[in-house]
């Protein structure tokens, strides 16, 4: 669990504002909390009604520690989700610019009849969010991070459409880093996540198999492992990293 013990004067993300999708569970929740710990104001985006109470608890936690925080429920399959999320984030945080965007929300396994939903949430929603955010970025030091998966590089039965969606997201990362980087003063990277132990993650063949792979510590990853990488990419120390795919999987897969 992240904590808020650092002195405000030492916080690297102070005065920056972030949008984190899928912010109330697992990896996204830890990313949002870690960004807040480092000083950022955070707009939490969640999808399910079941996540509302968690979102409100996080808002209370972050604001108690002196951060601006808001929560917005959004249908990421909607063609208007990008504009709606950015508008509500700006209003909810009371800011004029957003410097950080973490595209974390995703779905994996769904019935074959709704594979289009995977593409809408995992690919189209990040596209719409970026397009909506561009006019509202800061004057410098803007950062976009896509959360991808090693599934885009490996062969996991039952994850074909999910893997394809993540491969598309990685291609967008590389292309838009070059296309948008100079004009909008931003870096654009992706983190490729390996099997991760989260409270709501069901066991699967992929996760079970990964337990025997050569990870650095012979274990599954944790949300904190991944949030630490995202935190680094969100800070000044990563200013010369752009258009890269960063593996954060303990060595399960080498890029």
Q: Which residues are catalytic?
A: 148-149, 162, 166
Look up tokens 């949002």; give the residue.
Answer: 32
Residue 50, both tokens: 């079941």
Q: What is the DSSP string of 185-220?
A: TEEEEEEEE--B--TTPPP-HHHHHHTTS--TTSS-
Q: Which helix (H) or strand (E) holds 158?
A: none
16: its two tokens: 């920056």
Closest by CA position to 97, among listed 16, 38, 37: 16
Question: In 10 A of CB 121, how many CB atoms?
Answer: 23
CA atoms of 84 and 73, how far apart (whole Å): 10
Is the distance from CB of 103 to CB of 82 less than 8 angstroms? Answer: no
Helix (H) or strand (E) holding 148: strand 142-149
Residue with tokens 């004029």: 96
């Amino acid at each position: 669990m992240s904590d808020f013990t650092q002195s405000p004067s030492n916080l690297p993300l102070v005065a920056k504002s972030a949008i984190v999708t899928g912010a109330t569970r697992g990896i996204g929740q830890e990313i949002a909390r870690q960004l807040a710990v480092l000083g950022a104001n955070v707009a939490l985006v969640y999808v399910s009604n079941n996540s509302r109470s968690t979102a409100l608890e996080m808002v209370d936690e972050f604001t108690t520690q002196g951060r601006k925080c808001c929560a917005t429920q959004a249908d990421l399959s909607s063609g208007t989700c990008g504009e709606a999320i950015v508008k509500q984030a700006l209003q909810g945080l009371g800011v004029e610019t957003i410097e950080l965007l973490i595209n974390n929300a995703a779905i994996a396994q769904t019935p074959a009849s709704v594979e289009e939903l995977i593409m809408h949430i995992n690919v189209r929603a990040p596209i719409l969010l970026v397009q909506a955010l561009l006019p509202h970025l800061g004057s410098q030091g803007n950062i976009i991070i896509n959360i991808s998966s090693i599934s885009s590089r490996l062969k996991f039965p039952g994850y074909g459409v999910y893997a394809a969606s993540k491969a598309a997201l990685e291609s967008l990362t590389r292309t838009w880093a070059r296309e948008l980087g100079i004009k909008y003063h931003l870096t654009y990277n992706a983190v490729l996540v390996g099997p991760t132990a989260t409270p709501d993650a069901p066991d699967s063949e992929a996760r079970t198999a990964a337990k025997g792979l050569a990870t650095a510590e012979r274990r599954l990853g944790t949300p904190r492992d991944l949030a630490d990488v995202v935190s680094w990419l969100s800070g000044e120390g990563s200013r010369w990293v752009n258009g890269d795919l960063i593996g954060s999987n303990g060595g399960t897969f080498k890029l």
